[in-house]
A and B are shown apart, each in its own frame.
Chain A
């Protein structure tokens, strides 16, 4: 079974803190994604990566950055957390390129920024 593991299930941070969310997948998938999910807004794409060191902005990249130094690991960074970044963050990976393959999600990281 494909496993996508997110390092932290629940985090509480203060405004202005730097936050790292880590995601690791064990199936050698090329594509990895970071989404946030908010009530009434659904899942929105923050960033994705289709190869090591490659990244592309999604629909809401402002306030976020990402890092993909190894194929299995995709990190989401909040340089200076703000209260409007309180959300559920979901990492996903997929094998086949160009939006045709199944997305496998991690369990999510629920971030609260005070």
Chain B
């Protein structure tokens, strides 16, 4: 089993749609979770950290489910500019400097 797994997509959605991505992780002791966004041929950039209580930033909501070991990202009212690859990142093992990246979920928002 991969340490961090994501559905690669692509997810093709119309503008204005709501779309959700899930990511599962294998190390139950992981403590830090993130979503990064990567545009085509660009570097990844932090979209949001994921906190235990869940957190929201505008149209984006991140949730953590420790019992089932997954994190989710919900995007509401999708914009064309949301088209990108979304990377799930987990620090593992806890207390180390290592970040484990998922392979990413590709989103394409269609006009």
Which residues of A are at the interface with B, using a C-beta cutoff of 8 A? 31, 33, 35, 40-45, 48, 50, 56, 58, 90, 97-100, 102-103, 105-108
Contacts and interface: CB of A to CB of B under 8 A. Distances in A.
Contacts, number: 59
A10 to B, nearest CB: 11
Contacts of A41: 103
Nearest to A108: B43
29 contacts: A31-B97, A33-B99, A35-B101, A40-B103, A41-B103, A42-B87, A42-B101, A42-B102, A42-B103, A42-B104, A43-B44, A43-B101, A45-B98, A45-B99, A48-B97, A50-B97, A58-B98, A97-B97, A98-B96, A98-B97, A99-B32, A99-B91, A99-B97, A103-B44, A105-B44, A105-B45, A106-B43, A107-B42, A108-B43
B58 interface: no
A53 to B, nearest CB: 16
Contacts of A43: 44, 87, 101
A99 B94 CA distance: 8
Most chain-B CB neighbours within 10 Å: which of A43, A98, A107?
A43
B46 interface: yes
A105 B37 CA distance: 12
Interface string B2-38: 0000001000000000000000000000011010100
Most chain-B CB neighbours within 10 Å: which of A31, A35, A42, A107?
A42
Contacts of B99: 33, 45, 99, 103
A103 B97 contact: no
B104 A103 contact: no
Nearest to B8: A40
